[in-house]
Amino acid sequence: MTLDMAKKGQKIFIKKINDEKIKVQAIRLGIYEGAKVDCSLKIPFGPVILSNRMQEIAVGRTLARKIEIDVIKEGA
């Protein structure tokens, strides 16, 4: 599945980022293939907010469709 399908509160595993440009930039912010992050919020039809420790990142919806993920843990 892709990141746009993630739900609020889920812990997710990032499998693949299908956007070369974002891929290298995202590594620097802690989002990379193999990373485990939380989906802390979803703005309806809008960006997905990922968080990793204190770090929060907003990912546009179209971009989220290019990121393949697995759900590790369901949210509360």
Partner 1 sequence: MDCCSGIKIDIPKGHKKLVLAGNPNVGKSVFFNALTGMYVDVSNFPGTTVDVSHGKFQDYVVLDTPGVYGVSSFNDEERVARDVILYGDVILNVVDALHLERDLFLTLQIIDMGKPVIVALNMMDDVERNGIKIDIDKLSRLLGVPVIPTVAVKGKGLEEVKNNIKNAKVGIIDDKIKGYFKEYKDKVEHQSEALMLLEDDEATSERLNINTLGKREEIYRLRRERVDKIVESVIIKEGKGNRLRQKISSLTLNPLSGIPILILVLYLIFKVIGVWVAGDVVGVTEETIMVGYYEPFIRKIILNLFSENSFMYRLLAGEFGILTLTPTYVIGLLTPLVIAFYFFMSIMEDSGYLPRIAALVDRVLSFFGLNGRAIIPIILGFGCITMATITTRLLGTKREKIIATILLGFTIPCSAQLGVIAGMIAPLGMKYILIYAFTILIVFALTGTILNKTLPGESSELFIDLPPMRLPKLSNVLKKTWTKTVMFLKEATPLFALGALIITLLEESNIIYKIQDMFKPITESFLRLPKETANAFIMGIIRRDFGAAGLTELSLTPEQTVVALVTITLFVPCIASIIVIFKERSKKEATLIWLGSFILAFLVGGILSFLIV
Binding site for partner 1 (CB under 8 A): 19, 21-30, 32, 40-41, 43-47, 49, 52-63
Residue 46 beta carbon to partner 1: minimum distance, rounded to whole angstroms: 4
Q: How far is the CB of 33 from partner 1 (least distance, A)?
A: 8
| Shortest Å, Cβ 16 to partner 1 | 13
Contact 48, 3 (CB under 8 A): yes
Tell me the C-alpha distance between 54 and 2, whole Å: 23
Q: How far apart (Å, rounded) are the C-alpha atoms in residues 59 and 66?
A: 11
